[in-house]
Amino acid sequence: MHCLVALGHRARGYTAPQASQGMPGVAYLGTDRDILARDLPPGERLAVIGVGKVDAHADRLGLLFRYQARGFHFPALVSHAAIVHADVVCGDGSVVLDGAVVVTGARLGRACIVNTRAGVDHDCWLGDDVHIAPGATLSGGVHIGDHCQIGTGANLIHSVSVCSGVVVGAGATVVGDINEPGVYVGTPARRIA
C-alpha cells in the first residue's frame, strides 16, 4: 500500500478473506469472490496485487489471471525510491520496491516482486510470479523461470539460469545453472529438497 500511496494514488479499498486492523483509513471491500461477482464500470477496474510472496505457494499470478478475466488492469508499480532504467520491461502486476535497482535490458514477467534493495543487473529475465527478496543480487544475464523465490541476500553469478519452481535460500550463492525444481541453500547453492 505504501508504494501505491507514495506514487500519488488513492486506494478505494482492499479485498481479503476478512477485514484487517492493519489497513487504517482504507475501506474493506469484501473478499475477492465478492468483488469478482460485481459488475463494476471499466473506470473502477484498476487493481494492485497486495499479496506478498513469503512462501512458494502465494497465489499472486492466480489472482492476476482471475481479475484480468473480469476486465481488471494491473499496472506495474515502481517506487520513486527505486532505480529502474527506461528500457526495462515490467509485466502486469509486478512491483519494484524502495531501493531496488533494475538496469538496462532487464525484463520482469507478470506478478513479480523486486523487493527492497534487491539488484537485477543488465539483461536479466524473470519469468512470471518471481520474488527477488530484499538484498538479493542477480548479476548480468541471469534467467529465472516462473514461480521462483530468490531469498534475502542471495547472490546469483553472471549468466546463470534457474528453472521454474525453485526456491533459493537466504544468503545462498548460485554459481551454476539450476535445472531441477527444488530448494537450494548454501555457498555454493545445493539442492536440499
| Active site residue ranges | 122
Q: What are phi and psi of 136, to 5 degrees?
A: -75, 150
Query: Can you say whether the dihedral through the CA atoms of 17, 67, 35, 15 is positive or negative?
Result: positive
**β-strands 190-191, 182-185: how paired?**
antiparallel
Please report where in the chains the cell 506478498 appears, as a residue: 52
